[in-house]
């Protein structure tokens, strides 16, 4: 069974989009990847797009979307990034809250360390999910 991961941040324009881009890149079809925001922006943060382009990952086609309870229900793992209590909690799900700086309004040189932190966390998550899926 393919695990589903939902990344959630407030605007679904930076952190959650970068995390989703990394997980899609790392895991391919082995993991279903969703992302959403509690108060989605009208477009993805262009600096987040530029930061991911440096990694060879194109997130330009992604659009911020509103967090939907059904997405949480369908997900095996829910990774929040500063959305606080906006995220509904269902028993039996894996929840992680990643404390990450918000890249909104920051220049690329300040977004790179945030991106690198997200990459490290996603690599660990993917390793864990893929190991469990293979078991």
Tokens, residue 13:
């324009």
HSE (CB half, 13 Å, CA atoms) of 64? 19
Whole-angstrom distance, CA of residue 40 vs CA of residue 120: 25
Question: How many angstroms separate the Cα of 39 from the Cα of each of 16, 30, 71, 96, 133?
Answer: 13, 29, 15, 19, 32
> Which are the catalytic amino acids?
9, 83, 87
CB 31: neighbour CB atoms within 10 A? 20
| Rounded CA separation 47/128 (Å) | 29
Query: What is the phi/psi pair of residue 32, to 5°?
Result: -85, 130
């Amino acid at each position: 069974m393919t695990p589903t991961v939902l990344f959630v941040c407030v605007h679904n324009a930076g952190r959650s989009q970068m995390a989703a881009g990394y997980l899609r890149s790392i895991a391919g079809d082995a993991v279903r990847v969703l992302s959403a925001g509690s108060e989605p922006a009208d477009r993805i943060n262009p600096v987040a797009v530029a930061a991911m382009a440096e990694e060879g990952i194109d997130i330009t086609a992604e659009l911020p979307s509103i967090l939907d309870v059904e997405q949480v229900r369908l997900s095996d793992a829910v990774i929040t990034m500063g959305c606080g209590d906006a995220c509904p909690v269902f028993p039996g799900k894996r929840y992680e809250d990643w404390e990450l700086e918000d890249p909104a309004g920051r220049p690329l040189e300040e977004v790179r360390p945030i991106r690198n932190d997200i990459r490290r966390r996603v690599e660990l998550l993917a390793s864990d999910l893929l190991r469990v899926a293979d078991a």
